[in-house]
Structure 1
């Protein structure tokens, strides 16, 4: 055990619970200072284990009475648990346990368990918050049927909600009222929820394919109802999609979403009563960007899809977290892609680029966040082997890499085969708590003979091995024989110094492209020369080295590998600029076209950062011409252009460097942007003119893509104006801040001014704040925009530090803290890392301050230092000192201590 940490929980130590809970009846008398809870459970001893005391988890609770079968019994407290010894002597069969306790919601700054926000009561029980409400075996494999009665003041809390179906409402004589809810489906305690608040609801009745009627409700505070239309539309689309794609219907009489301003996560999938951060519910053209609208659709879908992948079938233990999260992220990604156009059949060709843009965005996020996690101190497998604090493992590895693992399964068995596997999964396990292995087995068993089925044990290394696999590809062209030999090697990928133990199963989608743009046939040596050869193939790699020989070619090919990012690996294909230009111009796969452009930019950034002396980046004509040609290509999708022309993120550049100098990376990126702004000036003018969107605001993919490219053009024109002294484009941007009828265009204009450090940035910021002062989510954007601005002589860091004292800033609100502190420390390494170590001091101060009130939020901020060892000096020493300072605090939470302790350990 690491010094100062609680004992680690290990996957190999899993033991089934000694007692099963069959039913739970909860009664709440809700009061902010002292809420009374009566918890009546029916339990049954697990006969597979020897008789033993009953141990119930609890935290920050006051117990007033414990009864077994109606009689008071003695109990004791031991290591955070309430222990009842006498139950082990009861005769076999069910027994009743009643616990009466109180908790203090208004003092719950952790936002875990039952807490207050904006004058109402809300809960968050995943992963281990239910123990802060009442004593319980708080683990996901204990599933019970819940009946919940809420009693509260009817004026202050007119809305009383819990899981399942409403079975009773009544007025009480003392000015209070009650509501009783029953959830007929067994669930673990982490899916429990209640809400008691003064809210209003948007309602919609729908009829499912099976002919059942359902009520959908989106609850928000008064004054926000006009911002719920998109969330409701997204919920309806989610219900329809899940039943159409996977045959999974809504199974309750109603489905409710509730938005709350104080929430540690994005949203929570509690059975039938999803509780959401307002960020992922509230949207109107005046307050939300295209990105916000897309995020709401995705998150609403994600939480609804959990109804089956997470709720109806849940995790046996928390090590299996990706069973629900990786699978459901995959499902919400598929949903979002299907919303922009079909994958197959009529319309698929027209939708290919729009679907690819969604895939590009998902892969960008994976590379910017998950790949660095694989290389940092908190690296862990998709299915971790141990943890101290489970909240620390709600990570990009579990979620986004877990989704990639599921996507590879679909790739290996096909879209229809995956649907068959899902059907078998629910036939076998509905109502159970199971493992990642159970899911993989169901997909394989539904597709006997598939590439997944025959390699299943090897494929499951994706769950067991940490790190990002490396794949090297080298080709040899024999012009005389018309033969191309492609050799693929899996490298010794590492995760924080730990080598991968065995080769992975890697589905590799590939094509061959001639220099003139033709897709070349993929006929492998030994195949019938008379049969037509495909233009794209899926090759499954499962060895350290694989050699493919393609014959019958009439031109030298450029390999297009890993199409659609068919596996989450680091690919080195050795292509030069000529090869990348061929792919950028001609590849049939839009993802690899984007990838080629990004790799050309990355190579130039890396060369500038690695060179001796001050950073001096000069873009060559070949690259500039390629970007100009793309920008002027009237046939190319605007959203696709926007993604290609974006300069690679700092984290992506850093992944290729050791040591990492974040300030040099930032300078190189700024120089690249300035040169693209200057040398493509005329093309940016044309892009601005061609992509302005007229008419009423609509967040559809085509309009959003045009706004994105127009916004990038405006940013580049303002950036160039700063270099040339031109006042026209900053003036136009300022006018758009004043006049824009939608947040996307207004915020893009404000960002253009702030990021270019224009003189008009200050009055524009003041006007924007004044206009949106009462919109909390918009003010979050205002803080974040300033924290993410490109650094200039230390001004951005100084401004962010000063904003801590702004009247609108609150460390207690997770959204506001993330918008400033996390944005600066994690999202702006060029401003955060400083020779005087002030950024690291700032980080340590904030983590310690947050830890005293909200350890989950503090732990998230602490993750900034996962890769401090890779930093160049003097940043490395400053970071180590800051991490050590945080670790030295005696009463540090387990949440933060686990992270900083692992960060300080030797690799």
Structure 2
């Protein structure tokens, strides 16, 4: 593990861990035998560990076992009980000294799952027991070497009341299930594959099950089970199909076969994360596994498919090969996000998936990179590891893996992953091990590429073109730099190895390329930018081209090229690369919004950018285009995305300008939007497939525009869709359009629709979350009062992370015009919530801090008010390490 330094937080000492100080564990745990006697307030946990000294450890005979919020009942070595003066106990763990080279440690602890509101370790979710041990939750179950480089073979026995908890689950294969006296029963599970404690799982409850099977490529039959509450049995079909598709895809694309005899998923409503890849027993937030057309949107179906795939893919990229320490977190998460993104792209529209992923990067990860919590993909230090389950680790980490795929090509990339999996199977690996496999497969030196792991921030690449008509050459010159971040200035950072996918666009589309005198037999090429400034020369260019750079978003950078507006429209309508077309149109829309803002700032009249109007008209007129792409391109850049391009951020002006532009576009093309809506409407039964999803997305895009400038007929259309849709995608789209409509004629309609929707779906928790979110993001004045009223509503639960995210997080992150009220009331509200949640669930409290950490990007008045909110949180006497770290770094 890493060494550390301590920081005083009130009466608490908080520890900072450093990558450079990693040391190997002093002891290995060969086997772990656990017995749980479940009780809400007095669960007894007996652990029997067989340990062996690590000959490479610098310290001999001393063992530290992590443990928090535990009551130690007894401790014995090789059957001999230890007295209190034979060990040292602290609030962080247990220290044993003068130990033999090999011994058995028996430890009995007592915990109270019912009082565990942090949702880490073993806790109660309504009537169910479940666990969440990543990253450091296992230490809340028993004293253990809770670090990812200590891998052990686990056997788990669970004893509980059979009537209350008929289903008892843990990792691995079931080896015994018997009834006991007194209405009890027990089940024992054995996992033959060594794993770290963070992959441990336990579930006990009264659960129904959907069962299926899968035949592997070596003809092994695997039992598949999804456990849910009985009322949710009709919502498992999609998750089961997604699991089977994932298993087959991983075999075909990566050659990875599942290893145990059974694979299980359990749906849990109270869960901090989306899902967890515990070996053979994946525990899921209900939002990531339950799906039914009547209660789940297309986006929900897609999320279930992606998350099921992600957690299953972890069986190899995370479980069979795990990470040595938490500084290597992106080794498993970034790699697996890339894998699930490719799976989703293969299952649907590759272009749409790429656009969606890049939008998350540009809107959210770039903001993270430019803020006080900016950190490298491989952080050099951390205080609280749960704060580093970030977009940088996951999404940016995935983009790094994608760059390997781009630089090596698919065949060498597959060869590299085979080397990596086979070499490190059953081990705790490092990012360096992964890079080494890439180098060995390709024969390339990727030393420069490693700067992507060690340097924080988003690189900026500025490009310029120079056309020589006489020589028929076109020179592309690139300059790269990375802005200052907390750990380093721009001047201290080394140039990155950046793959730049380039094409030269002529009047009829991309041209064949000759680079540096060499014909490429292709109309696009991946240039490798390795220096601070670099020029590439293309020959035999008959006319001045429009270059398209970073096609497919070939690197996670901010790029700039001096395009004219006409160039952007030309790219958007003529290029063959779907992402590049989308990107050009977005840039044109960004310019249009900024133009409206500039006019409004001066209180001048304005008009819609003609080229933007022309582009939208062309998109809507071409019925051969993918409707999903048309919908994406017609959707104006979000306020969150525009905020990332603004200094300072002007939330009220931005909101007003964007809504005014949308209204003007809606009014200009009202008949076209109407015909588009009708063309994409269908009476056939719901199906989750790429074609139908695309049609629904364009239909609801058209409805959103129509409702931006409605008449009585359009309001009636929206109400009809709301009342008579057979699927949640269309129903919630209509409700959202009604709620967001500012026309006075919609006022009474929206209140009635909200009441109708709740009455219809009040017993479906995930649908109620949608209902809450629609109201939390309503930009009309008076939002904070509505938010506080929602938090008193029976549909809200202040203990449930999904409800908190649906109201508090949605309001603070996606209702900027109200959250950033000039009186600071939004900031005070968020500070209040964080202070309460700090004691209840520190992880959720820390994640809610995101809007406040960006305080330096706003005007002076808002800066002061946001800082005051952070300081009030900081002044709390017992801040968790989760919240403390973010607040201190932000201030």
The correspondence of residues 546-561 of structure 1 with structure 2, limited to 5 A, is 546-561=534-549
Q: Distance in 2 between matches of 1:494 and 1:819?
A: 34
The alignment status of 1:78 with 2:90, answered yes or no, reads yes
Q: Distance in 2 between matches of 1:234 and 1:336?
A: 10
Q: Secondary structure of 1:446's match?
A: helix
Q: Which residue of 2 aligns with 1:462?
A: 452
The alignment status of 1:505 with 2:497, answered yes or no, reads yes
Q: Distance in 2 between matches of 1:68 and 1:178?
A: 26
* Residue in structure 2 matching 1:580, options 565, 568, 576: 568
Q: Distance in 2 between matches of 1:606 and 1:383?
A: 36
| Native 8 Å contact 1:382 1:402 kept in 2 | yes
The alignment status of 1:232 with 2:240, answered yes or no, reads yes
Q: Distance in 2 between matches of 1:519 and 1:651?
A: 32
The correspondence of residues 477-876 of structure 1 with structure 2, limited to 5 A, is 477-495=467-485, 498-499=489-490, 501-514=493-506, 516-527=507-518, 533-610=521-598, 612-614=601-603, 618-721=607-710, 726-757=711-742, 758-759=746-747, 760-789=749-778, 791-792=779-780, 794-876=781-863
The correspondence of residues 139-538 of structure 1 with structure 2, limited to 5 A, is 139-340=147-348, 354-448=349-443, 453-454=444-445, 456-495=446-485, 498-499=489-490, 501-514=493-506, 516-527=507-518, 533-538=521-526
* Residue in structure 2 matching 1:58, options 56, 67, 77: 67
Offset at 1:615? 8.5
Offset at 1:849? 1.0
Q: Which residue of 1 aligns with 2:3?
A: none
Q: Distance in 1 between matches of 2:37 and 2:603?
A: 66
Q: Distance in 2 between matches of 1:285 and 1:50?
A: 58
Deviations 1:777-802 (Å, cap 9, x if unpaired)? 0000000011112x23x233332232
| Native 8 Å contact 1:29 1:37 kept in 2 | yes
Q: Distance in 2 between matches of 1:555 and 1:875?
A: 51
* Residue in structure 1 matching 2:30, options 22, 30, 46: 22
Offset at 1:2? 5.2
Q: Secondary structure of 1:609's match?
A: helix
Deviations 1:327-347 (Å, cap 9, x if unpaired)? 00000001101112xxxxxxx
| Native 8 Å contact 1:609 1:615 kept in 2 | no
Q: Distance in 2 between matches of 1:653 and 1:803?
A: 29
Q: Which residue of 1 aligns with 2:109?
A: 101
Q: Distance in 1 between matches of 2:564 and 2:651?
A: 26
Offset at 1:676? 1.6
Offset at 1:79? 5.2
Q: Distance in 2 between matches of 1:853 and 1:614?
A: 48
The CA RMSD over aligned residues, in Å, is 1.3
Q: Distance in 2 between matches of 1:526 and 1:634?
A: 41
Q: Distance in 1 between matches of 2:764 and 2:589?
A: 38
Q: Distance in 2 between matches of 1:396 and 1:693?
A: 37
| Native 8 Å contact 1:377 1:903 kept in 2 | yes
Deviations 1:727-751 (Å, cap 9, x if unpaired)? 2211221122111100001111111
Offset at 1:765? 0.7
| Native 8 Å contact 1:164 1:273 kept in 2 | yes
| Native 8 Å contact 2:630 2:698 kept in 1 | yes
Q: Secondary structure of 1:683's match?
A: helix
Offset at 1:569? 0.3
Number of aligned positions between the proteins: 872
TM-score scaled by length of structure 1: 0.95
Note the residue ranges of structure 1 that are not aligned, 5 or more in a row.
Answer: 341-353
| Native 8 Å contact 2:67 2:91 kept in 1 | no
Q: Distance in 2 between matches of 1:837 and 1:631?
A: 42
| Native 8 Å contact 1:811 1:850 kept in 2 | no
Q: Secondary structure of 2:136's match?
A: coil
Structure 1 residue runs of 4 or more that deviate by more than 4 Å after TM superposition: 614-617
Q: Distance in 2 between matches of 1:512 and 1:479?
A: 15
Offset at 1:482? 1.6
